[in-house]
Structure 1
């Protein structure tokens, strides 16, 4: 058998945990170093992720390279750090892995183990020479965004893993180390540590000398950060330190007390005042009254706060990391204002050229903006302004911040962003990929929401959706821009075609983002719908792309419907949906006349689906074990047969009982049930989705996601409902 054919089979056998099949394939010549194309996973990577030391040992014995890297630079050892299995770590190190090797984003096995609280793994890695104080060294582009520089101690503190923090400190971890945002382990614990463990972590770090008055790149002290995060317990803990700087100011000139008052945190404000915080900084009383907290305003007056403070005159500082230097030069220049706008139409300040206007950096009332320059009375300028003025401010579309005219030109001032989506992908600024590629789905979800808002709330179609017109702002949020080709959706006949054009462009954007820009959008735009769909990495993406490329004309809100598509569900939500459907009474009772059973029954033309003869594809031991349950209960009519309902019942019952002690052998054979079933029957979820989405049974689907929020790198798609607890 050709090794190219056996490579994928070997990887699948590893993922299924089938030791005997893995051995047979290796003995027949399967390549132990096969790597799948999309993300570069090898059988060894998968064996480590499945936490199977026996498979790791077998693969290494057959020549698997412990130093082989995935596309994101991760080796088997780094994945082993995530899992925390000391036996696997030892096998890999004994086979020649470098204990301090990094992935492309600077992560080591020690950092991964620290971020997940694997204490024994930390001790073992340290005993084998892991450098405790190694800092992440990400690509230059990320360093420019002040991303990176974190250490294992910071990772453990951020996760709230107190024992891991303690262990690392015992190993000599430097509590004073700072990342590129000038934040140490203390700040990481304050900002992101789990609520229930953050205080213990902070107390431990303070005991080991963490600087309670350190300042990050924004001039914020730990006390200010704790107030901003509204963590009263942490504020109390920091105030217990006798040398805490109560009145330290951030770069905006605000103290912890000012932040507390502005956020309406009356209890925190009173606590700071009782500890001696100065009340003569800023408009404390005025801000309290803005929050309608008259009690706090009276308290502040009693503490000596002035009724009205003089307006502050802080030094101007740019907010943009990418454009900061140029903006500072522009701010300090003697350029004559165009009404409220300062702009210098020179290449030093040019952001981009577009077919219908040039884009420059600018300052509108000292607010940094992107300025699109049009010839006066230009049709493209009219379209741009029409779309920008058609609705309220949005976190999904660039915001119109001003418009000036001068000497035959129109200057349209908008939200200044850091990168286009094309630049973001070309410069590889996206986070490390996981096996679900959550980042890509979060980006696309944000783009869908932006276009949906443009269609529904602003009654415009974009007509020029492409990666250069999708921007990434300073908060890593998606912003839709460049509306100079947009059209109003006033006439129903024209509106349908305009919306269709946007949806078809979105279909190509889905593939572009999933492939991380490897296929240029211009090339995708020239390909047929079938050619585009063939590039999709999975069935859910292909189905979503098909829905976009061939949209249904009658739908009022097609994107609202597609935001509930399984493409946007996390793996556990997909698995939970199958379990929920399998928990329906007619399915559990094998009622062939039940409405849900009828809905799910495949058509004769669908016999080629992966689940058509499912009993021959699942692990035979597990199927026999599950059927024995009904044999022992004298219920042979409930034995599993080749029907969709029985497969869903099987998935539901596995999910309910796989973690019971008597079923540990089954669990070892299946591994993660979600992975097992979704990979064994890749088209099952879509079959269930399409059959049930117009029925009452869609209640089992995850709820339509809430808006993803400004930071696409931090969003998560909500999970589904829990299944019933019937045995």
Structure 2
């Protein structure tokens, strides 16, 4: 009897536990069925109010989705956690924004919800209210401090794919909620031209996704200054998207905008007119032609003929379209190997010329970012070029142009071809180079480890020194921004000095030249070290620290002379061209060998070449006797051994 009694006592808690677990699962189902009586009975029996299914839905999430305020309060009374998240990170508060239930939003705010909390995809309750057209909830959340212009926060992997960044206005525009769009713009101060991580604004969202009320939403956005030059996926402009929707009203609305570029193309080089012809939209073609859309954007008549649209052929001919327009030759080959693929794409698409320049300001053709507008691939007079963008009236643009023109005939500088102005933008066209100095050194980093004579560093720095010396002496400029990204390598491995938008025409102030010399000293160490020490790190060190990092006496002495140039700072760089750092092994060997023949020295034979070298005039700053007198000859002497 005792044993049986003991077994029964052991089984009772286990059965009770199983009963509670089963009851907890029933709580989920009861909440889904909105069965208040069963739910209360289960909770009173100890069922877990926070039980969740595989996607993270709890009874509280289900109750909010059903809009049942009474069930929500019951669950909270029995210990439901108001902050639990579904697998996608959504809290009950965010779901209340989806269903637009103001009282539930109030309850969760009173329980500590953050009005701007967001799920794993970056959606807030305010965004959900905008997306779902919940006007009352939108206004309530705004009153409670919701951030109207908060951009969707996403995880790092999504951000790398350029996902996220959308705002509540974009959500409302995408789903055609006219009243929400109006409230956001007129009552809440939403930024009409906020961009998501792909660079799209609310206008693109409205045109891409919304078929309901698209004209009304577009009209609202345009009336509040929406940018019509923005681009959607595949480079499509608002006008192109309107044509693709086959909506004449939208096309007419957009054509009234002052800043519209009617002939702008998508990434395939197609204009709005081209696409309208492809879609056989005669009325839209007529409208675009009336607004002077270019008829030379492609073989429009050929497209119409292939579509067997004779009336469209006649219309295009009436507007002056040519019968035969030949596309660029498919066998065209770029001269640049590094930029060849992008150049071929740019060559093949239609772009209206800006003077003598063909350019397309999209990411595919961007070479580098700048603080003023970026550098892009282009064709100037048919020549492959790098195009640096400025505002037309910027001081930096004038500096760049002035210095480039002054150095135009020199082989040590990037070649200047010309410039174009268009709608407040200055396009400065220069020779296209293959690499930056940083990229060039990365390629040669391992080679230098195997070769004691660092010919790469000597060659690169000799070119840079010649360029800077010429800039100072011949042209009267200082660069003021010497750093690796402003030294370029062309297709023949020639080094070119570039980027003169910070340059200063000689004012006579030696401090301006000294700034160049100090930057050049750091550049010497950067090159010798093959970029292993970031240039930013070198800029943060003082001159003495930089000198101490020198790997050998030649480099140390060269940098020291740049940091301590003496009185004649203008000639400093040019004088250093004879520095032993730039001597080849052959020159070092020959000089040291000659020193070994001391008979001419002993008898002071003044006509002797070696005597003249050792007793040169003071104006020759880096003769061999001065170099060896510092004890540095020990580094070079082993090279003289047979």
TM-score (normalised: structure 2): 0.48
Greater relative contact order: 1 or 2 (C-alpha under 8 angstroms, separation 6 or more)? 1
